[in-house]
Structure formats: C-alpha cells, structure tokens
C-alpha cells in the first residue's frame, strides 16, 4: 500500500524541536499571512508547470521545496507564535494547539500530489477520490501526534507530583496502539467490503490453514477509479489481524496469481515482520534519545543561538534510520516473503508473473531505478525475480532468507544495549 510522505514527518520533527530564535524579526499579521500563502502555493505552482512542460516529474523535489518554505516561516516568522496569538482561547490545550502550525505544510503537500497526478479534468469524481485518499494518507501520521498531545494536555491538569507517572502510563500504550489498530487504519484509508468470490475465498482459506497462521478476515479495499492493485496484512494480534486485497487485484489478476500474492503477505506474518517493524520503531525512539545525548546536546551547546541546526540534524538522523536502515531491512523482508510465497504455493511462475504485472520501476532507466531502490521499501521487480530464479540453487546467501536474518538478530540485541547506555549516561 502507499506510504505516507516522510517530508510531512520531517516537518513534524522541525515543529517538535522548534525554539524561537533570539533575534527573530518582527512581522505584522498581514505580512505573516501573505508569506504563508506565497510559500505554500509556490511549490504547488512549480509542480503544475513542471507537469505541463516536462515528462519527468520528480514530486519529491517539490515536496522538499514545500518543507523548506515551511521551515522558513516557522523560524523566521515564528509561525507557532502567530498561531498561538490567534488561538489564545485554546490555551488550556496548548499542546494540541501546536498541530495548527503544520497546516501550511499539509496543504502544500496535498496540493503538490493533486496537481502532479495525471487525471483528466472531466473526471471530477476520480479527482475527488484521489484528493480524499491523499488527505487521509497525510492525516495518518498526525493522528498519533494528536493523541500524544492530548495526553500531555490531560496530564497538565493533574498535580505535578503525579504528572510524570500518569503521562508515562498513558504514552507507552500509545506507542503500541498503531500496530494493534492497524486494520482500522487501513479501513480509514479505504472503504472495505467482504470478499464475495466464494471460490477464491475458499482457496485463500485453505492457503492460510496450510500456513498455520491465525487471522480475523480477508477483506477487499475499494480503490475504485484509482485502480490500485495490491495486497497487505495488518495487525500484530491474531484475532484482530486482517488480510487486505484491492478490487483492482481481483479484476486484473488470476486466482493463481492472487493466491501467490496473499501467500507473500502470509510470509510477512510467518517471519514476524509486523512485530519486528514495531521493534524497529521502538529502536528508533531509543537510538534517537542516545543520539541526542551523545551528539545533539554537545552540538547544541557548541552552536548556541542556532536552534535550527539541531532540528536539521534530527531530521537527517530520522532519514538515515528509516529511509536507509529501515528500508534496507524491509527489502530483505520482501525477499523472505517472496521465498515463503513460492514455498507455500509451489507455483513460482504464477508469482513471478504477478510481480511483473505489479511492477512499475522496470520502466525507468537502470541508474534511476538503482537510486530509487536505495530509499525504497521494496527491491525492484527485476531484482526480486532474479532472486527467485536463484532460490532453487544451493546458495547459502539465498537460503539464509528462509531463517531469521542476522541483521534482525543484531537489531534485537542492540535495543537493550542502547537502553542500558542511556541509563548509564543519566546515572
């Protein structure tokens, strides 16, 4: 399924780390409002011109431009101060009020995605579906922030002696909650209906029984005019777990191909990729605290008066962790799930033909494809097919994917080590 923009999360980090500069210039309300409008709409306009004039449409470039504009009005014009001044009636929930400062970036990213999409003007319904989907997709990372800020506002009303304990008791479940309610988050993105194809449903049920996994249901995501052909599994708790397939997958793929695609999703469950992904998120929280104490604090004291530097370093660490390290492991997970799919179905040709139909990176030049793959959660289709072709060989490099990966073992060992280091540093 589609992934939310890391640019929006980078904007969240800038907002959370924000400290007003000591020498901030004074701007009146009209100037701030004018610059917000200009810097929000300019990347959208440039994206529109690029789509009209050129065939190559690097959407990420305009999203980064939108982020730069947001950071400018954040630090140079004290955007949170501007928001707080006009929403003074929300003082009792001042943590939750912070989210309003993110509106310019949210609107800019949404506008860029809409103008870059190739949808004929006459297809108003399809354009509305695309707008609605991207609105919900961008909203997803804001929901945890709203929940955390609501907890902070709630604990602020309690006596100071119990605030840390109540806050910690409420925040810890919030970190686990997204992995538990992931099926609901999928249903927030798409309208879902039960799978009515009884023949296919019976085949998939036999497949899940053979694999030995537990799940609640198999449902169909209605992508309608967007025609997204894909599948996903969500939920770490078996009784709440769901397998999702899209309507476009049902329309355009054979039952055999769909079986292999679902078998791939089952592979994610059997190799505990959902649980490991949760550990990776927890590992980011631990390692970011350690990174701040070992790098951030010394850097902050060295560059006093430049709070934006610490925010930039935090964003770079986030990108390095998730876009490089996390995605590196994610590509390994995809190979594991691919191997499991052909082992479970014993139908490698059907799975490879399904991969070819799902692939879109194969149309790009090899150098661009390689660069994109470094930051992508999935290997290229060519690489996945070549990997499957070699899976029948007695190759130790290939066979290790049928077991728990060494990288995962190292990760699980590092998390408690990092926790101990943080404890020793603060002792």
pLDDT confidence of 224, banded at 50, 70, 90?
confident
Most confident of 119-123, 216-220, 320-324, 355-359: 216-220
pLDDT band at 333 (very low <50, low <70, confident <90, very high): very high
Q: How many angstroms separate the CA atoms of 342 and 202, rounded?
A: 19
First to last CA, the chain: 44
Position 368 scores a pLDDT of 41
Query: Which one, of 211, 288, 257, 280, lies nearest residue 357 by Cα?
Result: 257
Q: Is the pLDDT of residue 45 over 70?
A: yes
pTM for the whole structure: 0.83
16-20, 190-194, 301-305, 353-357: the lowest-pLDDT one: 301-305
| Sign of torsion over alpha carbons 239, 244, 250, 253 | negative
Residue 168 has a pLDDT of 61
Q: Assign 119 a pLDDT band (cuts: 50, 70, 90).
A: low
pLDDT of residue 40: 94
DSSP state of 97: H
Q: What is the pLDDT of residue 21?
A: 66
Q: Which residue matches tokens 């009146």?
A: 28
Backbone angles phi, psi at 116, to 5 degrees: -80, -15
Instruction: Provide, rounded to the nearest whole percent, the portion of the chain with pLDDT above 90.
Output: 22
How many Cβ atoms from other residues are within 10 Å of residue 171's Cβ? Answer: 14
Task: Give the model's pLDDT for residue 363.
Answer: 42
Q: Among the listed ranges 71-80, 274-283, 361-370, which one has the minimum average pLDDT value? A: 361-370
Residue 365 phi/psi, 5-degree rounding, is: -60, 150
Based on the number of CB atoms within 10 Å of its own CB, is 395 exposed (0-12), middle (13-18) or buried (19 or more)? Answer: exposed
Collect all residues with Cβ–Cβ distance below 8 Å to 187 and sequence separation of at least 6.
none
DSSP classification of residue 99: G
HSE value, Cβ hemisphere, 13 Å, CA-based, for 253: 29
Q: Coil, helix or strand for 63?
A: helix
Using 50, 70 and 90 to split pLDDT, how confident is the model at 426? low
Distance CA 171, CA 390 (A): 46
Quote the radius of gyration of the chain (alpha carbons, Å).
Answer: 23
The pLDDT-based confidence of 371 (bands split at 50, 70, 90) is very low
Banded model confidence at residue 171, pLDDT cuts 50, 70, 90: low
5 Rama sector, left if φ>0, alpha if ψ -120 to 50, beta otherwise: beta
Please state, in angstroms and rounded to a whole number, the distance separating the CA atoms of residues 255 and 201.
10
pLDDT of residue 170: 66
Give the β-pairing of 242-246 and 217-222.
Answer: parallel
Q: How far apart are CA 5 and CA 229, in angstroms?
A: 20
As its CATH architecture, domain 181-252 has 2-Layer Sandwich (3.30)
| 339 CB-contact burial (10 Å; exposed 0-12 / middle 13-18 / buried 19+) | buried
In the chain, where the domains are located: 6-140, 181-252, 270-427
DSSP string across 65-97: HHHHHHHHHHHHTTHHHHHHHHTGGGGGGHHHH
- The three-class DSSP label of residue 117 is coil
- % of the chain beyond a pLDDT of 70: 87
Q: What is the DSSP letter of 217?
A: E
Query: Reduced to 3 states, what is the DSSP secondary structure of residue 231?
Result: strand
372-382, pLDDT tens digit by residue? 455 577 787 88
Q: What is the pLDDT of residue 162?
A: 66
- pLDDT > 80? residue 408: yes
270 pLDDT more than 60: yes
Task: Answer whether 215's CB lies under 8 Å from 238's CB.
Answer: yes
Residues 145-167: pLDDT tens digits?
A: 777 777 777 777 777 666 666 66
Residues 6+ apart with CB under 8 A from 46: 62, 65
Q: How confident is the model at residue 31 (pLDDT cuts 50, 70, 90)?
A: confident
- Helix (H) / strand (E) element for 192: namely strand 191-194
What's CA 127's distance to the chain center, in Å?
Answer: 23
Burial of 251 (0-12, 13-18, 19+ CB in 10 A): exposed
Query: What gap in Å lies between CA 85 and CA 62, rounded to an integer?
Result: 30
Please report the pLDDT score of residue 403 as a whole number. 82
Q: What mean pLDDT is reported for the chain?
A: 82
What lies within 8 Å, CB to CB, of 24 at 6+ separation is 75, 76, 77, 78
């Amino acid at each position: 399924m589609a992934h939310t923009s890391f640019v929006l999360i980078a904007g969240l980090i800038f907002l959370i780390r924000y400290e007003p500069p000591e020498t901030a210039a004074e701007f009146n309300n009209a100037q701030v409002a004018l610059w917000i409008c200009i810097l929000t709409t300019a990347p959208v306009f440039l994206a529109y011109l690029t789509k009209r004039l050129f065939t190559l449409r690097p959407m990420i470039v305009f999203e980064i431009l939108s982020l730069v504009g947001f950071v400018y009005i954040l630090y140079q014009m004290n955007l949170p101060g501007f928001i707080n001044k006009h929403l003074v009636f929300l003082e009792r929930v001042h943590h939750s009020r912070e989210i309003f400062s993110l509106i310019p970036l949210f609107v800019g990213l949404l506008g860029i995605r809409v103008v870059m999409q190739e949808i004929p003007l006459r297809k108003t319904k399809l354009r509305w579906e695309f707008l609605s989907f991207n609105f919900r997709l961008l909203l997803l990372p804001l929901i945890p922030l709203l929940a955390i800020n609501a907890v902070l506002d709630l604990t602020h009303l309690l006596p100071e002696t119990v605030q840390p304990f109540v806050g910690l008791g409420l925040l810890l479940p919030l970190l686990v909650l997204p992995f538990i309610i992931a099926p609901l988050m999928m249903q927030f993105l798409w309208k879902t209906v039960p799978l009515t194809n009884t023949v296919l449903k019976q085949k998939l049920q036999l497949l899940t029984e053979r694999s030995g996994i537990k799940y609640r249901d198999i449902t169909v995501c209605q992508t309608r005019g967007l025609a997204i052909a894909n599948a996903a599994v969500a939920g770490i708790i078996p009784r709440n777990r769901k397998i999702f397939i899209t309507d476009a997958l049902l329309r355009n793929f054979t039952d055999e191909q769909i079986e292999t695609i679902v078998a791939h999703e089952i592979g994610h469950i059997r190799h505990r990729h959902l649980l490991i992904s949760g550990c990776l998120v927890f590992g980011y929280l631990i390692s970011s605290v350690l990174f701040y104490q070992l790098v951030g604090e010394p850097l902050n004291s060295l560059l006093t008066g430049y709070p934006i530097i610490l925010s930039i370093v935090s964003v770079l660490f986030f990108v390095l962790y998730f876009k490089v390290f996390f995605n590196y492991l994610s590509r390994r997970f995809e190979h594991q799930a691919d191997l499991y799919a052909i082992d479970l179905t014993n139908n490698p040709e059907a799975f490879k033909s399904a991969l070819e139909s799902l692939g879109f990176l194969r149309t790009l030049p090899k150098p661009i494809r390689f660069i994109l793959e470094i930051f992508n959660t999935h290997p290229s289709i060519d690489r996945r097919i070549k990997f499957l072709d070699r899976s029948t060989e007695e190759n130790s490099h290939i066979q290790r994917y049928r077991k728990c990966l060494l990288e995962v073992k190292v990760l699980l060992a590092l998390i408690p080590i990092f926790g101990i280091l943080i404890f020793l540093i603060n002792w």
